[in-house]
Structure 1
Amino acid sequence: MSNPVRWGVLGAAKFAREYMARAIHEAEGAQLVALATSSAAKAEPFQAFCPELQVFTDYDALLASDTVDAIYIPLPNHLHVEWAQKALDAGKHVLVEKPIAMSADEIDGLIAKRDTTGLHCAEAYMIAHHPQWTRVRDLVAEGVIGDLVQVDVAFSYNNAADTDNIRNRAETGGGAAGDIGVYAFGCARFVTGEEPDAIISTRIVREAGVDVTTEITATFPSFSYHGYVSMRMAPYQEARFHGTKGVIVVKTPFNARVAGQAELEIRLSDHVRIETFPAVNHYAVQVENFCRTVRAGAAYPWDLENAKGTQTMIDAVFAADRA
């Protein structure tokens, strides 16, 4: 792309340092040009792989820079909407880490501002950009496993020892449902295009005002769903789509290349086949898709309305638990 999208990052978050800033730096059509952090020490690892990086000590100063076209926001969850709105007001396109908001109604303001400004604003929901997930969606739509009957999803890790982690703190919008429920719940919506009819049951374990384990059973128009996410269990992830003629198992659905190889196991009555996607960096693909939308108006796989749909489901889970 001859006219790359120039990116700035708000905050030197660990995830940005290890994954997203590197993905922006490596992605076709993107150029990482700026970082905002008040800590010179935190900026150094970014400058190590991107020596030309300009470092701002103030978030607003980065937003005001005319050398930046798009902003990536990896701030704590409770700050996402505030800084996304500020970035849009500054005339920047915005990619916001998930969950983009703490409740579904907060996303309405971002949708309105996106539509008013004509700028691109999206949630960083990288699995929608991974070919293993578009493949699952196509297989289900084509009826390869017959009629879909049951979806089961599990996603867990254990950060109990990391008490200062923002995911373990209520004041920073922590919790398992917000952090990884967006994947476990949202992937069923992405594959089927359906919205849940009802949350049938919930089991939520809380510590210090934060859900550390959330388990739900739900019904969708054409299938049933069971899923759990946890920040207090051994690392594990799997998604299973069970139909009348076969089963699709997504072996590493959410942390491909980190937790394991992206691999689908397609079990049919007369055979089992494996499809693998070893070389895909879904973070970089996400950035490239974002840049194509900005520069060429290409369709984007996960818009704000999709993000709102998953957040609406999460909101319904907590509402059902309180009822």
Structure 2
Amino acid sequence: MSKPLRFGVLGASDFALRHMARAIHEAEGAVFAALATSSEDKATPFRAFAPDIAVFTDYDAMLASEGIDAVYIPLPNHLHVDWSLKAMEAGKHVLCEKPIAMKAAEIDRLIAKRDETGLLCAEAFMIVHHPQLQRVRDLLAAGEIGRLERVEVGFSFDNPDVTNIRNRPETGGGALGDIGVYAFGCARFATGEEPVAITHAEITRENGVDVTAEVSARFPSFGYHGYVSMRMAPFQEARFHGRSGVIVVKTPFNAGVAGLAEIEITDGQGTRRVESFPTVRQYVMQVENFVCSATEGASYPWSLEDAKGTQAMIDAVFKAAFDADQG
């Protein structure tokens, strides 16, 4: 049996504390070995469940440590590419929060470094590790609802705090980067298709940050409509509408946290069935899949190329909205 993959967490973010550091700590084949933070005091809540972690108050010092094999990066969006590159240059595998880059072209640098080093570098897009989205993909491929005609996705929450990094342009904030990756990525993953045109893009901004975006797109075989917002009541749903049936995913993104992981399938006669995944923990599964890929060469379900495809769609939405405003 291979040795456990020793993870260092680069930044004491609230999300790392609530979800990913705990997932690393609990995942089979992984060890939460270290935390890099600007203040050792920020390590206290992490030590409550992982008392043996090493704490570095210098990011580069953690990257230089021989006791670290992989790095999880939950830093603000605008820092993702540079620290992912630094980590690979230090010989570490990289699992970086989404969006892994602010522009699709920036991901080319990560792909080149990945290929040069042979290390695993991936965006932490946890929903592709959950069996509910994998099941949707398989049902669509099997023709369960006939020809797919339309995909509709909504994802929203209310975050008016102007000091939060999601609301600050200098830290790469914005609804499209934060949750648009889910609204677009889930459609791409489930269908295996890429958009051929953005047919409508309307973006509402506050303080230089996109807080709401409504998007329509054309894929080769279906139409897409979705919205994301940081100024609406919490909601999430993905709907796949075919000629002979409908698949609805009630909690496609924060399954097990915001609601139950369930797929509702309705056929053309109105017969409905529900498939549930009550015990799946997608953050833990993400870490375990990362470990298997990094240590055993197993296929990883979300490559940098996959992440680039979603970012390319985000880039296209921004351009379409800009063009519409100018025209």
What's the TM-score once normalised by structure 2's chain length?
0.98
Q: Which residue of 2 aligns with 1:293?
A: 293
Could you report, residue by residue, the CA deviation over 1:215-250 in whole angstroms, capped at 9, with x for unpaired residues?
Answer: 100000000000000000000000000000100000
Q: Which residue of 1 aligns with 2:79?
A: 79
Q: Following superposition of structure 1 onto structure 2, how do residues 1-323 of structure 1 map, counting pairs within 5 Å?
A: 2-160=2-160, 162-270=161-269, 271-323=271-323
- State how many pairs are aligned: 322
Moved more, 93-102 or 32-41: 32-41
Residue identity (%): 69
Could you report, residue by residue, the CA deviation over 1:156-180 in whole angstroms, capped at 9, with x for unpaired residues?
Answer: 00001x2110000000000000000
Which secondary structure state, in structure 2, belongs to the residue aligned with residue 50 of structure 1? Answer: coil
Deviation for aligned residue 1:308:
0.1
Q: 2: distance between equivalents of 1:192 and 1:184?
A: 13
Deviation for aligned residue 1:2:
4.3
Q: 2: distance between equivalents of 1:2 and 1:113?
A: 25
Q: 1: distance between equivalents of 2:178 and 2:75?
A: 13
Q: 1: distance between equivalents of 2:2 and 2:321?
A: 51
Which secondary structure state, in structure 1, belongs to the residue aligned with residue 48 of structure 2? Answer: helix
Q: Which amino acid in 1 is paired with 2:176?
A: A
Q: 2: distance between equivalents of 1:154 and 1:39?
A: 38
Q: Which amino acid in 2 is paired with 1:141?
A: A
Deviation for aligned residue 1:39:
1.4
Q: 1: distance between equivalents of 2:84 and 2:48?
A: 27
Q: 2: distance between equivalents of 1:70 and 1:16?
A: 15
Q: 2: distance between equivalents of 1:175 and 1:54?
A: 33
Which secondary structure state, in structure 2, belongs to the residue aligned with residue 109 of structure 1? Answer: helix
Which secondary structure state, in structure 1, belongs to the residue aligned with residue 256 of structure 2? Answer: coil
Q: 2: distance between equivalents of 1:269 and 1:201?
A: 30
Which secondary structure state, in structure 1, belongs to the residue aligned with residue 280 of structure 2? Answer: coil
Could you report, residue by residue, the CA deviation over 1:84-104 in whole angstroms, capped at 9, with x for unpaired residues?
Answer: 000000000000000000000
Deviation for aligned residue 1:311:
0.1
Q: 1: distance between equivalents of 2:4 and 2:146?
A: 44
Q: 2: distance between equivalents of 1:178 and 1:236?
A: 17
Which secondary structure state, in structure 1, belongs to the residue aligned with residue 225 of structure 2? Answer: strand
Structure 2 runs not aligned, ≥5 long? none
Could you report, residue by residue, the CA deviation over 1:78-130 in whole angstroms, capped at 9, with x for unpaired residues?
Answer: 00000000000000000000000000000000000000000000000000100
Q: Which amino acid in 1 is paired with 2:10?
A: L
Q: Is the 8 A contact 2:237 2:252 kept in 1?
A: yes
Ranges of 4+ aligned residues in structure 1 off by more than 4 Å: none
Q: 2: distance between equivalents of 1:110 and 1:269?
A: 45
Q: 2: distance between equivalents of 1:131 and 1:312?
A: 26
Which secondary structure state, in structure 1, belongs to the residue aligned with residue 248 of structure 2? Answer: strand
Deviation for aligned residue 1:257:
1.1
What's the TM-score once normalised by structure 1's chain length?
0.99
Could you report, residue by residue, the CA deviation over 1:36-63 in whole angstroms, capped at 9, with x for unpaired residues?
Answer: 0121221000011000000001000000
